[in-house]
Structure 1
Amino acid sequence: MLTPNLISRQGEIVEVFLRHGWDYMRRLLVGKAPEEPDIPPPAVLRNILTDLGPVYIKFGQLLSTRPDLLPPAYIESLSLLQSTVPPVDAVTIQAFLRQHLNPDEVFSEVNYTAIASGSIGQVHRAILKNGQPVALKIQRPGIEIQVRRDMALIRDIAKLVASTQFGQRYNVVALADEFSTALKAELDFTTEATYTDQLRQNLAKSHWIESHQLAVPEIIWPLTQPKVLVMQWLDGQPILSAAMGSQADKRNALSSLLFRSFFQQYFIDGFFHADPHPGNIFYLRDGRVALLDCGMMGRLDPQTRATLTEMVLAIVSSDAQRCAQLTLQLAEPLQAVDLAKLEHDYSRLLSRYYGLALKNFNTAVAFAEVLEAGTRNHLRWPANIGLFAKSLANLEGVARQFNPQINLIAEIRPLMVDLFRQQLIGDDPLQALLRTGLEFRNLSLSAPRQFGFLLDRLSEETLVWNVNIKDLTSLQKSIEQAANRRSFSTVVAALIIGAAIISSNQTNTQLQWLSTSLFAAATLLGIWLIISILRSGRWR
């Protein structure tokens, strides 16, 4: 049952849809929508989500990480969504902070005017009693109520769309549940704090970069709680706004630092910053680079990391066959996949990049096109692959704006030997050797027993082979139909011959009646046989 608040919010949503010229959702809400949703153009969809407010902006940002659901034009448009909403006034935010912390006991100074404002929280500068400057992220008052209200409507809309072909193809109910889970995690700032700490610790022990040149804020855990996040203040500005002039060497060094740090996250740690847009990468006053806002992170298991490494190499070398094989390891087929067609699509796609100079090769764009080709061939990519693609695209986009001469492949090539060594034996070669030796020992102990069991079964003639042949059922059905038609043909021929013999030798009325009956039966069976052959479409 809809509450007055939900009904009012539903009216607001319909008004936004109508204002932007999208009538489908109004018809859906009143039960008069057509079978297939009429999705608005990318820019219109982005404007609709922006006008609907913070929850829908977050929903658009989630969709921008799912190239398996939307075409590239929509992914690009939704990636521009930024949660820039007016900050809460100083008096309200001060009263909210006092409900969770006693600022007079903790801080010597708090600036209640926000320096950055998002859909879930806003950031303020403060100074602890010990003189340490900190960034204070405070949740927007009342955002939980708004999230619950809008999530209820999103679930209701998902249920309405679920019965359509669109809803079944993209499993919109599961997508709504996934969004709900992600949004609830963002409402708990301790989750972001944990992610931030883990990323900082991972990069601190990296041997691919000079870790002292890269900063991730330290969390002030005694003061951090679900609605208030307190972390180290890093003094700087967005990297694209940094005044470096024509310092080519400095730009090359920072670009390389960024790429190497993210390769470490993608291919070694399997835990990566999923949203490295220009506002989350800062150039600090002391010359370091900082990664901020770890609310959206992705994870890749070891097998996926190894497959992605091969995929990037296959794309660069234009190996369509290998690319198709690796795709089937990563993606879930929604129906039978035509491997030859998939290879053909990849071959046609990758041929555009063959022989291209490294400085002109955009790995993120090529990878996004590979994902799109897989989707066209009825493959569903995992959500973490979408996050990886989004992160890679954002990273390469920022790096190219900051330093147009940079190239991802040129940066990753010197690391390939070390990367494959890491994936083969890990950080502890001795442990990997012992584990491999143990597996060989177990195999050597069990193999003779299993081989002996197989020989016993063969000698006793009790071995049974189970063979499953694809599409064998349809072949069997075709053979049975052909055999049945041959049998009917034989019966019809026998009836005709029998009737002809009786007709030529008839001596009384009874034999004449029998001959006529046989001819009639043969005629009916013959007509039925002809009709069945014509209806099957295989008469030619």
Structure 2
Amino acid sequence: MLNTIKVGLKLLPHVLRLRDYRLRTLKGEKIDEEKMYRDAEKFLNIIVSLGPVFIKFGQILSVHSDILPEPYLKVLSRLQDDVPPAPWEEVFKIIKEDLGEKLEEFEINPEPISSASIGQVYLAKRKSDGKTVVIKVNRPRIREIAEEDIKIIKSLLPYTKYLIDESFYESLRAIVNDFSRRIFEEMDFTKEEYYMRKIREELADFPDVIIPTPYFSTKRILVMEYIKGYKVTSEEAKKIVKPSELAYRIFKAFMIMLLEKEYFHADPHPGNIAVDDNGNLIIYDFGMVGKMDHETRLRLLRAYVALIRLDGIGLVKVLEELEAIQPEADREVLAKGIELFLQQFQGITAETLEVEQFLEAANEVFYRFPLKLPEKLTLYIRMTSILGSTCLQIDPDFNFFLNLQRLIEEEGLVFEAMLSDFRNTVNAAIRKFRLSILEKPIIVQNKRNRTYVKAISVSLVFAGLVYYLITKDSTVSILLGLLALVLATTID
């Protein structure tokens, strides 16, 4: 209880500042942006002082434009997952307990090659063949620390309803619930081993992408293959592979995972990607992996197309399907507001649109309007933001949207998204029609009307056949046929 009070008192002034910025933004008042950046820096320092679990939580908040203004998002995006290593004696105790008799198979270097909030990484030599392996270990007491810190966060959470507003509270509650589940998954190295094997399978079509082979895991230990490589932002990597080519290869590998595969690596920062002497990409650290269903991927593609077309109504429709609109929001007013806001991009093409410019606009839309970032999109937003930053560090001329457009066209995903939009529109129209015939019968008054209804029926059958020939999707075709049958039965 005492720790909760201490943390609450540290955070209270920053929460009150955020309340003030939120109210003034919603009222359309002018805000001193430089002061907001200074306040965001102070908030970042408090987060760092609260320890590794709060640092990871701050990283999650750094993509939530539905609750934080743009300056806070930018400042929190600098949070690094690097913390001083725990003493070797404490770490070795975990290694000894979990490896058991296997411990005798390795000579372990006690100096960690990396140290993060969840785990530490060591190099070891396998005695049987002299091969170098990597041993990843949970930090001592990390589970107990996380349980205590999450309990504090959840205890303080309800107060935001009264200090700020209920919409802020509901969005933050969803983030906290997702975070409290995901952080414990990240501590379980048996899950990381599973993700490594799954993504190895999914990237089998990329012979120039290498993922280390996992050898052995427990919840607290992961032993895997060691593959030497050069950090993708290093001068060595840029000498092996031309920067523009390297950036696009990384972009393509990660976006293909996101747009076409079941799982995607959600943390593509430069420290997790390397290049070997032959120019192959090496991907490390599978603690943060996302999973996205096919329908959500299609909706994201449709959202992208709507944004490029400055189509506020189309965008609101997709946001509704993604459950990104607050229940109390007036959809018509929202569509008009977003269309007005998007007018600032009139005449801008994918070639000239900068990712930072777009993200700032998108963040402001989420912050100004009654929108919320759905849990299932949190990792997607974080991943694409980090990916864009990594590619820009490799190639300063890298254009996220131009390359996204190129990739979508290469993979034939625009057509798939358009068909999805058509299918949703037809399904909605059929449902509306079925409801209307329950409310009142269709009365055909004269021969002209009968001819008109018959023509519609024939057209629907024809549309169904064409749709099936294009998509091989029989569901919509059958529904169109049934609609034609219903209309035909109304003819005298």
Bin the TM-score by the shorter chain.
0.7 to 0.9
Match of 1:218 among 202, 213, 217: 213
Q: Look at both structures and tell me which one has the larger radius of gyration over its CA atoms.
A: 1
Match of 1:282 in 2: 274
Q: Partners of 1:196 and 1:141 in 2: how far apart?
A: 24
Report the CA distance shift for 1:84/1:244 in structure 2 as closer, same or farther (over 3 A): closer
Q: Is the 8 A contact 2:257 2:264 kept in 1?
A: yes
Task: Indicate which of 97, 100, 118 corresponds to 1:99.
Answer: 97
1:116 Cα shift? Answer: 0.4
Instruction: Return closer, same or farther for 1:34/1:86 CA change in 2, 3 Å cut-off.
Output: closer
Which residue of 312, 325, 328 corresponds with 1:332? 325
**Tell me, which stretches of 5 or more residues in structure 1 are unaligned?**
206-210, 427-431, 460-540
User: How far 1:77 moved relative to its partner?
Assistant: 1.7
Q: Is the 8 A contact 2:8 2:156 kept in 1?
A: no
Q: Counterpart of 2:112? A: 114
Distance 2:17 2:336 in 1: 36
One-letter code aligned to 2:88: A
RMSD: 3.5
Deviations 1:153-207 (A, max 9, x none): 11111133344443553324443322211122122122222222222221123xx
| Counterpart for residue 136 of structure 1 | 135
Which of 375, 381, 398 is 2:373 aligned to? 381
- For 1:146 and 1:345, the matched residues in 2 are separated by 43
Provide the residue aligned with 1:151 in structure 2. Answer: 150
Q: 1:136 to 1:245 in 2, by over 3 A?
A: closer
1:200-250 per-residue CA deviation (whole Å, 9 max, x = no partner) reads 221123xxxxx2221222222xx2010001222121232112425677x72
Offset of residue 419 of structure 1: 2.8
Q: 1:251 aligns with which of 229, 243, 261?
A: 243
Normalising by structure 2, we get a TM-score of 0.75
Q: Does 1:200 pair with 2:200?
A: yes
Deviation of 1:365 after TM superposition, in Å, equals 4.2
SS in 2 for 1:102: helix
Between the aligned partners of 1:392 and 1:34, the Cα distance in structure 2 is 29
Supply the AA of the counterpart residue of 1:394: I
What is the 5 A alignment of 1:74-93? Answer: 74-93=72-91
Could you say which residue in structure 2 is the equivalent of 1:61?
Answer: 59
Separation of aligned partners in 2, 1:203 and 1:215: 9
Q: Is the 8 A contact 2:231 2:270 kept in 1?
A: yes
1:435–1:385 CA distance, 2 compared to 1 (3 A)? same
1:424, 1:319 → 2: CA distance? 14
Alignment of 1:136-535 (within 5 A): 136-171=135-170, 172-205=172-205, 211-220=206-215, 223-243=216-236, 250-330=242-322, 331-340=324-333, 342-352=335-345, 354-355=347-348, 358=351, 360-363=352-355, 365-367=357-359, 369-415=361-407, 416=409, 418-420=411-413, 436=472, 438-439=474-475, 443=479, 455=490
Give 5+ residue unaligned stretches, structure 2.
23-35, 421-467
Secondary structure of the residue aligned to 2:207 is helix
- 2 CA distance for matches of 1:306 and 1:253? 27
Number of the residue aligned with 2:424: none
- The 3-state SS of whatever aligns with 1:212 is coil
Aligned counterparts of 1:268 and 1:49: Cα–Cα separation in 2: 36
Equivalent residue letter for 1:115: I
CA distance in 1, matches of 2:208, 2:17: 56
Change beyond 3 A, Cα 1:424–1:234: farther
Structure 2 Cα separation of the partners of residues 132 and 277 of structure 1: 27
Q: Give the Cα separation in 2 of the matches to 1:106 and 1:369.
A: 56
| Distance apart, 1:393 and its partner CA | 1.7
* Alignment-mate amino acid for residue 232 of structure 1: E
How far apart in 2 are the matches of 1:242 and 1:166?
49
From 5, 13, 22, the equivalent of 2:7 is 13
Q: Residue 64 of structure 2 aligns to which amino acid in structure 1?
A: R
1:16-35 equivalent positions in 2, closer than 5 A? 17=10, 24=13
1:423 and 1:433 mapped to 2: Cα distance? 17
Distance in 2, matches of 1:287 and 1:417, equals 23
Paired with 2:419 and 2:314, the residues of 1 have a C-alpha distance of 23
Task: Name the SS for the 2:98 alignment partner.
Answer: coil
The 1:115/1:305 distance shift into structure 2, 3 A limit, reads same
TM-score (norm 1): 0.69
- Which amino acid is the alignment partner of residue 217 of structure 2? T
Mapped partners of 1:344, 1:136: distance in 2: 53
Query: What is the rounded CA distance, in whole Å, between the counterparts of 2:177 and 2:243 in structure 1?
Result: 42
Residues 368, 389 of structure 1: 8 Å contact kept: no
**Alignment check: 8 A CA contact 1:66 1:387 kept:** no
The Cα shift of 1:90 comes to: 1.9
State whether residues 125 and 133 of structure 1, in contact with CA within 8 Å, keep that contact through their aligned partners in structure 2: yes
| 3-state secondary structure, aligned to 2:65 | coil
Whether the 8 Å CA contact 1:134–1:230 is kept in 2: the answer is yes
**Cα distance change of structure 1 residues 99 and 334 upon mapping to structure 2, 3 Å threshold:** same
Aligned partner of 1:527 in structure 2 is none
Query: Equivalents in 2 of 1:38, 1:343: separation in Å?
Result: 24
SS in 1 for 2:59: helix
1:235 is matched by which residue type in structure 2? K
Check whether the contact 1:89–1:113 (CA below 8 A) recurs between aligned residues: no
Q: 2:121 aligns with which of 120, 123, 130?
A: 123
Structure 1 partner of 2:430: none
C-alpha change, 1:446 and 1:325, in structure 2 (3 Å) is closer
In structure 2, relative to structure 1, the CA distance for the partners of 1:213 and 1:242 (3 Å cut) is: farther
Q: Residue 233 of structure 1 aligns to which amino acid in structure 2?
A: Y
- Among 50, 53, 60, the alignment partner of 1:52 is 50
Identity within the alignment, %: 24
Structure 1 position 363, deviation (Å):
3.4
Partners of 1:444 and 1:345 lie apart in 2 by 33
Is the 8 Å Cα contact of residues 62 and 73 (structure 2) preserved in structure 1?
Answer: yes
